[in-house]
């Protein structure tokens, strides 16, 4: 009886270890240079909340990170270490259709602004 309990515990431990490995492996960066851009435009009844979240998802540091909001309006973010996030907001009067982010070495991302889903009963719906 004790042998069966030991086998069941060993199998359960193996299943838990395998599940943890499956969840953690995608979080390990696979590229040296990678940048994720999330442009969000949340229109409320009285105002519009707009932000751009930059995430360095690569293994190495990105340099010369620049956000171009269009119409000649840019913001220099500078350097982003691996795993860091930065949030920037467009200046007043910026066009809110897309944002272009460039970084060294050779990264250029063009991202359309996304609008969150409005649910009945939620603030701003």
Residue 66 lies inside a defined structural domain of this protein: yes
Rounded CA separation 51/73 (Å)? 14
Are 21 and 42 within one domain? no
**Residue 23: which domain range?**
1-28
Tens-digit pLDDT profile for residues 42-61: 887 788 788 999 999 998 99
Partner residues linked to 36 by β-bridges: 55
Q: What is the tally of structural domains in the chain?
A: 2
Cβ neighbours for 81, distance < 8 A, ≥ 6 positions apart: 56, 61
- pTM score, whole prediction: 0.70
111: its two tokens: 């991202």
Query: Cβ(73)–Cβ(67) under 8 Å?
Result: no
Tens-digit pLDDT profile for residues 58-93: 989 999 999 998 888 889 999 999 999 999 998 888
CATH of residue 51: 2.60.40
Cβ neighbours for 10, distance < 8 A, ≥ 6 positions apart: none
């Amino acid at each position: 009886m004790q042998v069966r309990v030991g086998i069941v515990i060993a199998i359960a431990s193996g299943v838990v270890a395998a599940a943890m490995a499956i969840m953690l492996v995608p979080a390990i960066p696979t590229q040296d240079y990678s940048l994720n851009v999330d442009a969000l435009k949340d229109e409320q009844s009285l105002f519009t909340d707009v932000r751009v979240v930059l995430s360095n998802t690569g293994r190495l540091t990105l340099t010369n990170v620049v956000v171009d909001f269009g119409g000649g309006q840019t913001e220099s973010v500078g350097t982003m270490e691996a795993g860091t996030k930065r949030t920037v907001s467009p200046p007043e009067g910026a066009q809110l259709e897309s944002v272009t982010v460039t970084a060294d070495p050779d990264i250029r991302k063009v991202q359309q602004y996304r609008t969150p889903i409005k649910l009945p009963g939620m603030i701003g719906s």
